[in-house]
Structure 1
Amino acid sequence: MTTPMDVPESSQHAEPEAVAAGARGAANRSLRQIAWQRFRKDKVGMTGGIVVILLILVAFLAPLLTSWFGYPPNQFNQALIDPLTGGVLRDPDDPGQGLDPWGGISTQHLLGVEPVNGRDLFSRIVHGAQTSLLVATVATVVCVVIGTVLGILAGYFGGWVDVAISRAMDIFLAFPLLLFAIALVGVIPDGAFGLSGNNLRIGVLVFIIGFFNWPYIGRIVRGQTLTLKEREFVEAARSLGAGSAHIVFREILPNLITPILVYSTLLIPTNILFEAALSFLGVGINPPMATWGGMLESALRFYTTSPHFVIIPGLAIFVTVLAFNLFGDGLRDAFDPRSSD
């Protein structure tokens, strides 16, 4: 057996030097590098991030994917539908074979077709992803901008500014958002502000979601600002004569990017569900524009004869929301200073 006295002197000095080199390497890593190393170890978060990237690519490339693997999202294929029941025929050339339990899934229609009108489900799903991600992302940006600005103002200046903004947050948080959205979207005219049709409805949805959800992120930003403005680097900047604008934009705001980014990834799936709920209730995006919520609303009449029509858009919503939540949880753990490498 080798004893400590038998170890060569060079080996005895190698370990402390290696430890010191590792410590220097860890000290030289930035917060971004440390967070990325932590995030790479989180297999669940990485999986969610990969799915989110794929969903964004699918939404961005929806017209191209439709031209490759499907049909135009609003093209009717009545030859595939039984005129009596509205179900999808097993063989359009031989209606006597009855309905297809798989909803017309084939090499031409990768996810089958809708009952009654025969529109291609694959095309509807990818264009629905485009609609849902567009509304949710733009609404989240509006929410983040308003919440960040008002949260910083409340936390940094305090006093009557903090009181006024905090009470406004309480009012907005107590507001029945869903009922207000149903009432407002239901009475909007056909055209306003230079927009019409579904473009106007998308603008109204973005306004409702972004303007009335800002208190959630505003409270987080306010709490972080109250902590950051008492930190040593802020006091040092103030002692050197820095003004409020410099402190807010150069000292406090950069330290708020991480919590804002993490919360935004958790807010997007909530907004996706909100848009889907409004479309499901018939007060969101009007047909024939493809939306996942609208597809679910249409599918309820055919869940016994065409279950694929319910399952596919439901899975699209489920996978999207789950992926964003897992991705957001992974980012939160990666940027948590209490986490170990």
Structure 2
Amino acid sequence: MTAPIETTHGQAEAQPEAILSGVERSEIQGRSLGQIAWMRFRRDKVAVAGGIVVVLLVLLAILAKPIEHIFGLDPTAFHQDLVDPVKVAPKGGWGGMSWDHPLGIDPQYGRDLLARIIEGSWVSMLVATGATILSNVIGTVLGVIAGYYGGWVDSLISRLMDTFLAFPLLLFAISISASLQDGAFGLNGLPLRISVLIFVIGFFNWPYMGRIVRGQTLSLREREFVEAARSMGARGPYILFKELLPNLVAPILVYSTLLIPTNILFEAALSFLGVGIAPPQASWGGMLNDAVDLFYADPQYMVVPGLAIFITVLAFNLLGDGLRDALDPRSK
């Protein structure tokens, strides 16, 4: 039995139930903001490829030690019999590549490059992720406070941001890392160096996140939902953490994916300069530093860690661009 059709001024007008007759309930479903963002993200094949590479890199960093144990990889094992002591170069094929050493060997000590790349992955990811979390926490808290309260609070925090941005970060990081190499805060060795790198990179990079969050908060604090919360008697802390912060998740997430590769490059630069991760611990920047004097004897020793850094940074940048487009409500 079909729904009746009413007439208005001589024109037939179908009722809503008549228009929707024959349409399944499952076909009339709304989409959440997360579903819309995921649908947009899936359409960007380049961003999806970058995301897959990022997931694989994260899994490689997390499972580095088990992978080394399962396949018998030792990043510190010397194979002097595979190195020509006169030419200071690997014997055999290009870069010493073989079934036992797919990426070649260290031309000076004969260490397996694949094992050292895997070992260096967790160091770079740990430092970059830890520094990003630290800078995000400080920058988000101070940025949202400055943007919401304004006035002298905004002026004070903004001038603090300008002060931190005026620091010559690389020189400051070199001096701090070099002065704390022997031991501090009850730590020494590799844990101390990783902690120092996370602190230096994260603590002095928070103004970049702070400026982004402050700018977004200045716009959000004039929106209707904030005015509605104020009219219902909500106080500042509630509005900051219950109303504003959930709406800042998208820009924070996007900028984090762009900040992680920057921190990876910064850690590699410090290790390259000799004030980052100390040998014999493998790190991508340290491998590049060792390869400088041996480039003409064995170019592959520089190419392998350089490609590892390049692929990692490129994958995070592609993922960040895709997330920015997917989470932008104004994109189509």
Question: TM (normalized to structure 1)?
Answer: 0.88
Deviation at 1:213, TM superposition (A): 0.4
| Segment of structure 1 superposing worse, 150-159 or 299-308 | 299-308
Alignment check: 8 A CA contact 1:105 1:112 kept: yes
Alignment-derived partner of residue 48 in structure 2: 46
| Segment of structure 1 superposing worse, 31-40 or 76-85 | 76-85
Alignment-derived partner of residue 55 in structure 1: 57
- For 2:158 and 2:20, the matched residues in 1 are separated by 54
Deviation at 1:185, TM superposition (A): 1.1
Q: Does the C-alpha gap of structure 1 residues 70 and 122 become closer, same or farther in structure 2, counting only changes over 3 Å?
A: farther
Question: After TM superposition, which residue ranges in structure 1, 4 or more long, deviate above 4 angstroms?
Answer: none
Alignment check: 8 A CA contact 1:136 1:206 kept: yes
- For 1:173 and 1:30, the matched residues in 2 are separated by 39
Deviation at 1:105, TM superposition (A): 1.3
Q: Does 1:232 align with 2:224?
A: yes
Alignment-derived partner of residue 176 in structure 1: 168
Q: Kindly, what percent of the aligned residue pairs are identical?
A: 63
Alignment-derived partner of residue 332 in structure 1: 324
| Segment of structure 1 superposing worse, 283-292 or 186-195 | 186-195
Within the candidate set 189, 199, 207, 2:191 is matched to 199
Deviations 1:257-315, CA, capped at 9 Å, x for gaps: 11100000000000000000111111111111111011011111222221111110000
Aligned residues: 315
- Partner SS, residue 193 of structure 1: coil
Q: Does 1:306 align with 2:306?
A: no
- For 2:322 and 2:28, the matched residues in 1 are separated by 24
Deviation at 1:70, TM superposition (A): 5.2
Alignment-derived partner of residue 213 in structure 2: 221
Q: Does the C-alpha gap of structure 1 residues 295 and 32 become closer, same or farther in structure 2, counting only changes over 3 Å?
A: same
- For 1:189 and 1:81, the matched residues in 2 are separated by 32
Alignment check: 8 A CA contact 1:258 1:335 kept: yes
Alignment check: 8 A CA contact 1:70 1:120 kept: no
- Partner SS, residue 301 of structure 1: coil
Greater percentage in helix: 1
- For 2:72 and 2:291, the matched residues in 1 are separated by 20
Alignment-derived partner of residue 277 in structure 2: 285
- Partner SS, residue 75 of structure 2: coil
Deviation at 1:198, TM superposition (A): 2.2
Alignment check: 8 A CA contact 2:135 2:203 kept: yes
Alignment-derived partner of residue 67 in structure 1: 69
* Cα RMSD (Å): 2.0
Alignment check: 8 A CA contact 1:78 1:118 kept: yes
Unpaired segments ≥5 residues, structure 2: 1-15
Q: Does 1:119 align with 2:115?
A: no
Deviation at 1:64, TM superposition (A): 2.2
